[in-house]
A and B are shown apart, each in its own frame.
Chain A
Amino acid sequence: MTLLSVRDLTVSYPVRGPLAGWWTGQKRFVDVVCGISLDLAEGTTLAIAGESGSGKSTFARALMGLTPFRSGSLIFDGKAPFPARGRPARAYLHQVSMMFQDPVASLSPRRTIGALITEPFRIHRPDLRNLEAEAKRLLVLVGLPADFAQRYPHQISGGQARRVGLARAVALNPRLVIADEPTAGLDVSVQGEILNLMARLQAEQSVAFLMITHNLAVVRHMSDRTAIMYMGRIVEEGPTDRVFASPAHPYAAALIAAEPSSLPGHHRHSAALKGEVSSPLHRPDGCAFHPRCPAARPLCSATAPLPQVSASGALVSCHFPLQRTPDQ
């Protein structure tokens, strides 16, 4: 069953200050996220991958109502939680939570861990009295000793702070957790622990994860479906194994091919992308990827491609999707 359904979500930032364009009456906008549509089924994981600046984090913030979106719609569990203006409905924030990129910075520095992980209860469940027991339960749930409740954020390590962030995110038994780079800044063994913990929580509580990352190994390991973003658009979205086995969009193919191989001596054939990501201020006409695309043809610079089903069953936004994997 579809839990979250996003249609044509666009996030734009106005160019320069609030007075820009007051004389001409026109405001210029930069589309950081432009027209994202995706569906997330209950209890599954969708990973959004893409390079820095592709709009992944902005999209995540927009889903939490932290950044207003200019157009588009969002349906969660059959309801539209966003009013025309302002912050989303409280019931929505009760069921959706977010893990932030920087685990230590996302914890209020003068509050104890115990107070921090029970913060969601203080906001959404003021009727609950025994917060200490809840804190203990959550700490045990994420594999931290119960006496951590008395510590302060600066007294714990990055991996422990990540666990605290996860505990806070799942405190209210949410149905969707948006995880922004859940493994950023952690060493590989701690990354593994966090991911296993997330997988276990998903199995136990059937929580859906929307994971933002640029670590393709994490994507492959964790997610049921994968969406590849480029300049604020999803260029390819489909079941993870199929997207990785035979990426149809040239950008997705290049991204996956650029991932280091774990086999010694084995080098994938990879055609490194030329050039830089275009500035969102001067978005290329047609397909935003065409200036860097090895397979670009005149049509690509003229019209933007619409999503179509590729040979592997993924949705791909490309006029000339690849038919073969780059390995072959």
Chain B
Amino acid sequence: MGRLGLCLVLILLVAAVFGPWLAPFDPFLIDVSAKFHPPSFPHLLGTDNLGRDILSRLIAGSWIAMGVGMSTVLVALVLGLILGLIAGYGPLWLDYLLMLVLDAIYAVPTVVMGLTVVTLLGPSLTTLMIVVIVILVPGYARLARTATLSMKSEEFIVALESLGASRARIILVHLLPNIAGPILIVASMDIPTVIALEAGLTYLGMGVPPPTPSWGRILQEGFAQIGDAPWIILAGGLP
């Protein structure tokens, strides 16, 4: 199972990094004469309503999926860790304030949050990433805060306080390495969730605007032609 997973991840990574060289066609190339080709040679996964090669668009989409997935999780992780550490180790009023704000964000459903932000900022890749970060941060902050709270009365933290160490030093040098482990694992498992979320939001028209090839957009466009060209939505659901 582990090896199978590794192979799948490697395929995706290779597709994302070497996409421009691997793709048989230009993912933006519109060839109306070749529209609605069923899967065959040379269009292995067929073409869509504008005659664009779906395999090429999938490969190009993997770059967005990976990029959005990893970078947003990374940013959210850093923000969440910092906020959680401050809430857990800082003054009590700050803890209450931060948790109030973060729990309020947590309480808003993902799609509603996405709709709101997209309405405010307009659909774009940046907006999508902001939405995903805002959704992820409260969870990481909560995890970091809980770990910090359970650690802050440990004797080694008290010993550091007795040495006169500053709060910033205790947080960055001594608390961070001790609480980061479990949160890193959770974050790495969130990357696929984020990719699905990106596809989902894009499918709902709140994510990456056309003509950018994204997995969610391929699904959305394929849905319109599900009766005439079912291979589009099938291929879009492949990754």
A196 contacts which chain B residues (CB < 8 A)?
Answer: none
A124 contacts which chain B residues (CB < 8 A)?
Answer: 164
Q: Give complex CA distance A110, B172 in Å.
A: 12
| Beta-carbon nearest neighbor of A105 in chain B | B155
- In the complex, the answer to whether A97 meets B162 with C-beta atoms within 8 Å is yes
Residue B109, interface by CB 8 Å? no
- In the complex, the answer to whether B178 meets A93 with C-beta atoms within 8 Å is no
Q: A100-B155, A105-B156, A109-B156 are in contact. Are A123 and B178 (CB under 8 A)?
A: no
A65 contacts which chain B residues (CB < 8 A)?
Answer: 162
- In the complex, the answer to whether A110 meets B178 with C-beta atoms within 8 Å is yes
Question: Whole-angstrom distance from the CB of A70 to the nearest CB of chain B?
Answer: 19
Residue B31, interface by CB 8 Å? no
- In the complex, the answer to whether A123 meets B158 with C-beta atoms within 8 Å is no
- In the complex, the answer to whether B163 meets A123 with C-beta atoms within 8 Å is yes
- Binary per-residue interface labels of chain B (178-200) against chain A in the complex, 1 for a CB within 8 Å, 0 otherwise: 10000000000000000000000
- In the complex, the answer to whether B156 meets A123 with C-beta atoms within 8 Å is no
- In the complex, the answer to whether A98 meets B162 with C-beta atoms within 8 Å is yes
Q: Give complex CA distance A120, B160 in Å.
A: 9
Closest A-B pairs by Cβ, 8 of them = A93-B164, A105-B155, A106-B159, A110-B177, A106-B155, A64-B162, A98-B162, A108-B156
Q: Give complex CA distance A9, B173 in Å.
A: 34
Q: Give complex CA distance A109, B155 in Å.
A: 11
- In the complex, the answer to whether B174 meets A100 with C-beta atoms within 8 Å is no
Contacts A/B (CB < 8 Å), 25 sampled: A61-B158, A65-B162, A66-B161, A66-B162, A90-B164, A93-B163, A93-B164, A94-B164, A97-B162, A100-B159, A105-B155, A105-B156, A107-B159, A108-B156, A108-B160, A108-B174, A108-B178, A109-B156, A110-B177, A111-B174, A119-B160, A119-B163, A123-B166, A123-B169, A124-B164
Residue A317, interface by CB 8 Å? no
For window 75-124 of chain A, which residues contact chain B by CB distance below 8 Å?
87, 90, 93-94, 97-98, 100-102, 105-111, 119-120, 122-124
Chain A residues touching B, range: 20 to 34
| Beta-carbon nearest neighbor of A116 in chain B | B156
Chain B residues touching A, range: 10 to 19
Q: Give complex CA distance A100, B156 in Å.
A: 9
- In the complex, the answer to whether A123 meets B162 with C-beta atoms within 8 Å is no
Chain A residues proximal to chain B, CB less than 8 Å: 61, 64-66, 87, 90, 93-94, 97-98, 100-102, 105-111, 119-120, 122-124, 168
A94 contacts which chain B residues (CB < 8 A)?
Answer: 164
Question: Whole-angstrom distance from the CB of B229 to the nearest CB of chain A?
Answer: 56
Q: A111-B174, A123-B169 are in contact. Are A106 and B164 (CB under 8 A)?
A: no
Question: Whole-angstrom distance from the CB of B96 to the nearest CB of chain A?
Answer: 11
- In the complex, the answer to whether A120 meets B161 with C-beta atoms within 8 Å is no
Residue B165, interface by CB 8 Å? yes
B160 contacts which chain A residues (CB < 8 A)?
Answer: 108, 119
Q: A102-B155, A107-B156, A123-B169 are in contact. Are A97 and B163 (CB under 8 A)?
A: yes
Q: Give complex CA distance A87, B158 in Å.
A: 13
- In the complex, the answer to whether A66 meets B158 with C-beta atoms within 8 Å is yes
- In the complex, the answer to whether B163 meets A105 with C-beta atoms within 8 Å is no
Chain A CB within 10 Å — which of B158, B160, B162, B169 has the most?
Answer: B162
A90 contacts which chain B residues (CB < 8 A)?
Answer: 164
For window 129-155 of chain B, which residues contact chain A by CB distance below 8 Å?
154-155
B155 contacts which chain A residues (CB < 8 A)?
Answer: 100-102, 105-106
Q: Give complex CA distance A66, B154 in Å.
A: 13
B159 contacts which chain A residues (CB < 8 A)?
Answer: 98, 100, 106-107
Question: Whole-angstrom distance from the CB of A41 to the nearest CB of chain B?
Answer: 23
Select one of A61, A109, A111, A120 contacting B163, CB under 8 A: A120
B156 contacts which chain A residues (CB < 8 A)?
Answer: 105-109
Q: Give complex CA distance A124, B154 in Å.
A: 22
| Beta-carbon nearest neighbor of A172 in chain B | B163
B174 contacts which chain A residues (CB < 8 A)?
Answer: 108, 110-111
Given A98-B162, A108-B178, A119-B165, 10 further pairs, Cβ under 8 A: A64-B161, A93-B162, A101-B155, A102-B155, A105-B156, A108-B156, A108-B160, A119-B160, A123-B163, A124-B164
